[in-house]
Structure 1
Amino acid sequence: MTIELKVQVVAKETIGPSSPTPHHLRSVKLSVFDQLAPILYTSVLLFYTSNANTSSRHRSSCLKSSLSNVLTRFYPLAGRIRDNLSVDCDDGGAEFVDAKVNLPLSHILDCPCPVLLRKLLPIDMESPEASAGCLLLVQANAFGCGGLAVGVCVSHKIADASTLSTFIKAWSAASAELLGNVIVDIEFPPLDTASARFPPQVELAAMSPTVVLPKARCVTRRYVLDPAKITPLAASEAVPEPTQVEAVVALVWKCVARASRTNDPRRPSLLSQAVNLRGRLAEPLPETTVGNFVGGFKVEIPPQADEREMELKKLVSDMREAKREYFENYTPRLSGGGVSCMAILEAATEFATLINSGAVDFYNCSSWCGLGLYEAADFGWGRPAWISSAGVEYKNSIVLVDARGGGLIEVWLTLSRGDMDALDADEELLRFASLNPTVCGSCIA
């Protein structure tokens, strides 16, 4: 008999900064990137196995204390957004939820299920509260076996994946310090760097979100791929050394485009690959710069493309060329001021038009690979056994995450039911991908 996984909320608490935010820091402007960001939460789940030296209650207490300490450095996360123009840093606090799970952690790690994973998050990722309520929410899920899952949700209006990673690294360092472990101090740039370079635009304050990601009756699945087996097949004279992300994205895109064309072969397939702009600006910003600094280049598979046009070598070459053109033509316009804001708004509008037009199969791809959370997210009781994105509910989404142990890549794929059914029969994908395998090391939970 299958036992249903149940998550019981035990307590909710508001965690504010350990010391009041100074009056002169009580308002932080959004950047124009932040203003245009979709209303949702950027979320991650961190899984930890049992630890003989720390109980679940003690770990929860340490998480709360260290969160309060780190919020003195990330004080906007304890505030509220006002009129899509600024964050009122009133120390209103982050929400911290303690929860109990009725099954052992191995139940999750043996067969990860997106629907179950979302139960471990403190709020729906698509909640409108991302622009009107708490900007940071945490849920500490204690498993009966002693395992712990920490679900973190940060409003996308003030944080992209890079910012979420920066925050978690600082928080885990603060927690390890509380437990008496040696840590490396992390330097952070001023929190107004983004808005100083790309100031908010008053005319955007009252606008509806430019980008509204499409929702439909979709299915999310997790695949694990070994890029070392794919990358050599993607190499060509044009791109002799493709990156692992390029090779994996090309393979997945090729297969999902082929699956979609079983229903309508006349539709073009368009991939938008998100890129971190911090280091690509004429005056680069530190990788720890807080806020949204994401752009995206687009590449197309034309209608009724033959197999030659869909070879991995061709797709990777097209992706590399599209990325080169994007950085040559778009990022030079991001020098700051009104011209930059116009370029950013034009790009967001074009993205929204394409994603909402219905005239193309539009795939939105982002990579969380290389963020380094497996190494850094040690709160004082060991590194995570697994890190999960929890998937998303938006149609045609492709999210890449480092797999535990290094070397492999997890792909979280959200498609319509019809496209996912067609993908199930794709022999090329199944030759390189394992469908939802057990998380390595789950037996130690």
Structure 2
Amino acid sequence: MVRENINIGVEMIKPSSPTPPHRKNLRLSFLDQLAPPTYTHIILYFEANDNNCHEGSDETSRKLKRSLSDVLALYYPLAGRIRPEESCVECNDAGAEYSEARFSEDRISDVVENPVVEELAKYVPAAPYGGGDVPLAVQLSFFGCKGVAVGVCMSHRVADAMSLVNFVNAWAAVCRRDAKTVDFIEPTFDLATRFPPADFSRFFPPEAPSPQPPPPEKIVTKRLIFDEQKLAALKKAAAGPEVEKPTRVEAVSAFIWKHLIGASSAAVAAEGGKNNNGGKNRAFAAIHAVDIRSRANPPLPNQVFGNACARSMAMTTAAAAAAEEERNYSYYDVVLKLREAIRKADAEYVGKLENGDEFLEHYSGTEENDPSFKDGSKTLEICCFTSWCRMPAYEADYGWGKPVWVSIIGVPTRKNLIFFMGSKSGDGIEAWLNMAQEDADVIQTNYNLLFSSS
């Protein structure tokens, strides 16, 4: 059956009150400059209930647009336009993009219970690499079962995942007229005061394009569910003398990275290690995005808007990985390596970020920027992890109750990009893996083997 998809149109929603003249220009911070020019997505799914059914789609639409206009008066940069060449947001009240769509054959229960991750992108208004100067785009989707989904796309140039979730909760609170919650999570926009923008051109001049770029790999998105029982088994397997109680994020990260390294090493061995000295000149990095709000000294408020995050990096080489496998390298060994890396993202590290030019000078000489990785004599395979597990996305209530599911979408243009989403119950993890097909298959096989008796 061909599913009906009726787009109702796109309009610009402007703030309910004009942005004051002294706020017309928001500097991007050094941390914002480090963020990729992509959109971050979140989709909240709400089952039909007495509130959203009885008021009808027209009233639901009216409430969302009115409340969006009101919350944009607080989050005024999201109604502006990004000027990356000037490292700022022009807060000109041009508006956020708002669209609606109807999916008469779709049912919330089907999407939640048996999601097809490749199809979820239809519930958001912008592709991951849409780029552009619009900081915010939202889409309200109406389902045939009378349920609704709210899809939000926010530019990573201006905000991290915590800022996105705080915005969603503020918008929901305005919609249900919860002034107390709105006051509690009202944003601040002074990140550039602590982390002023830096001149990147001095350290990283533009690279010449490759004359023969490698053929693109097929990237797939796979969603693996680690419920409480599976997490208990994995954490037990990853525990050891110095990490008696691994966190759920550490345990799942170790599971994925260990088997990704194994898959890559096996692939090189199968090809005879061509063009890379038998595969010996390969290195692997695991990068975790780390929220620095509580790590800074003095701490940053939870409500600070922007990219208040840094990255921790653990590295190993193909030779080291092979030697470790020979001595039965365990999940514990990987957890220990990851924890040591994350602990380095401390107050001292955050302090270095406060002087962007000095940090860039230091970073340009780190192992990750070894020139041999760029000239092809060595290869570096990076796996990036981002955890949303502690973010209160399931608290968003627009007046219809809390969402029955919160999801992201696949990112088919980014290899080895891993997202961790918390489950509604709060004790599980949904791991969203964007990987080459063959690597994803290896992870799936090891997942099935590890939990075959669960």
Q: Give the TM-score category using the shorter length.
A: 0.7 to 0.9
Report the CA distance shift for 1:225/1:138 in structure 2 as closer, same or farther (over 3 A): same
Matched, 1:369 2:425: no
Q: Helix, strand or coil for the counterpart of 2:426? A: coil
SS in 2 for 1:241: coil
Residues 38 and 128 of structure 2 are in contact (CA less than 8 Å); yes or no, is this contact kept in structure 1? yes
The residue number in structure 2 matching 1:310 is 329
Matching residue within 262, 273, 288 for 2:303: 288
Task: Classify the secondary structure of the residue corresponding to 2:58.
Answer: helix
**Quick one: which of 430, 433, 445 aligns to 1:425?**
445
What is the alpha-carbon distance in structure 1 between the residues aligned to residue 43 and residue 97 of structure 2?
A: 16
Q: Deviations over 1:373-392 (max 9, x none)?
A: 11x21111100010001122
In the alignment, does 2:263 pair up with 1:259? yes
Q: Which stretch shows the higher mean deviation, 104-113 or 78-87? A: 104-113
Aligned counterpart, 1:442: none
Match of 1:390 in 2: 409
Q: In structure 1, what is the equivalent of residue 284 of structure 2?
A: 269
Are 1:41 and 2:39 matched, yes or no?
A: yes
Q: Which moved more, 1:250-259 or 1:214-223?
A: 214-223
**Structure 1 pair 328–28 and aligned structure 2 pair: CA distance change class (3 A):** closer
Equivalent residues in 2 for 1:335-374 (5 A)?
Answer: 336=354, 339-343=355-359, 346-347=362-363, 353=369, 359-374=379-394
Note the C-alpha offset of 1:431: 2.7
Matched, 1:200 2:197: yes
- Corresponding residue to 1:299 among 300, 314, 318: 314
Shift of 1:34: 1.1
Structure 2: which amino acid aligns with 1:195? Answer: A
Q: CA deviation at 1:50?
A: 0.8
Map 1:106-255; keep pairs closer than 5 Å: 106-129=109-132, 133-177=133-177, 183=181, 185-191=183-189, 193-201=190-198, 216-226=217-227, 227-255=231-259
Q: Which residue of 1 aligns with 2:29?
A: 31
Q: For residues 45 and 207 of structure 1, do their structure 2 counterparts lie closer, same or farther at Cα, with a shift above 3 Å needed?
A: farther
Give the secondary structure class of the aligned counterpart of 1:420: helix
In structure 2, the residue corresponding to 1:141 is in which secondary structure?
Answer: strand
In 2, Cα distance between the equivalents of 1:141 and 1:45? 10
Question: Aligned partners of 1:282 and 1:81: how far apart in 2?
Answer: 29
Question: 2:44, 2:407 within 8 Å by CA — same for their partners in 1?
Answer: yes
Q: For the Cα contact (< 8 Å) 1:251–1:429, is it kept in 2? A: no
Question: Structure 1 residues 205 and 89, CA, compared in 2 at 3 Å: closer, same or farther?
Answer: farther
Structure 1 residue 308: deviation in Å?
A: 4.2
Give the drift of 1:67.
0.7
2:5 aligned partner: 7
CA distance in 1 between partners of 2:38 and 2:362 (Å): 21
Greater shift in the superposed pair: 164-173 or 315-324: 315-324
**Inter-CA distance 219–70: structure 2 relative to 1 (3 Å threshold):** same
Runs of 4+ in 1 over 6 A off after TM superposition: 205-210, 354-358
Q: Following the alignment from structure 1 to structure 2, what is the Cα–Cα distance between the partners of residues 430 and 171? A: 43
Partner of 1:91: helix, strand, or coil?
coil
In the alignment, structure 1 residue 415 sits paired with structure 2 residue 415:
no
The letter of the residue matching 2:96 is: A
Q: Secondary structure at the match of 2:285?
A: strand
1:56 equivalent in structure 2: 57
Question: 1:289 is aligned with what amino acid?
Answer: V
Indicate conservation of the 8 Å contact 1:252/1:429, yes or no. no
Note if contact 2:235-2:248 (Cα within 8 Å) is conserved in structure 1.
Answer: yes
Most deviating of 146-155 and 318-327: 318-327
Q: Is the 8 A contact 2:312 2:345 kept in 1?
A: yes
Go from structure 1 to structure 2 and tell me whether the alpha carbon gap of 1:170 and 1:184 turns closer, same or farther (over 3 Å shift). Answer: closer
Q: CA deviation at 1:23?
A: 1.1
Is residue 262–residue 422 contact of structure 1 (8 Å, CA) maintained in 2? no
Q: How does 1:56-75 map to 2 (within 5 A)?
A: 56-75=57-76
Cα shift at 1:229:
2.4
Equivalent in the alignment of 2:80? 79
Alignment match, 2:400: 381
| Aligned-pair CA distance for 1:190 | 3.0
- Inter-partner Cα distance in structure 1 for 2:62 and 2:200: 44
State the Cα distance separating 1:407 from its structure 2 match.
1.2
Give me the TM-score of the superposition, normalised by structure 2: 0.84
- Cross-structure match for 2:17: 19
1:100 corresponds to? 102
Paired residues, number:
419
Query: 1:209 & 1:176 partners in 2: Cα distance?
Result: 48
Equivalent residues of 1:39, 1:209 under 8 A apart: no
Q: Any stretches of 5+ residues in structure 2 without a counterpart? A: 270-278
Contact 1:366 1:399 in 2 (8 A): yes
**1 CA distance for matches of 2:9 and 2:288?**
40
Residues of 1 paired with 2:218 and 2:301: CA distance?
Answer: 39
Identical residues among aligned pairs (%): 35
Offset, 1:251 = 1.2
Deviation string for 1:194-214 (max 9, x for gaps)? 11111223565998899x9x9
In 2 relative to 1, CA 64–240 (structure 1 residues): closer, same or farther, beyond 3 Å?
A: same
CA distance in 2: counterparts of 1:102 and 1:207, whole angstroms: 50
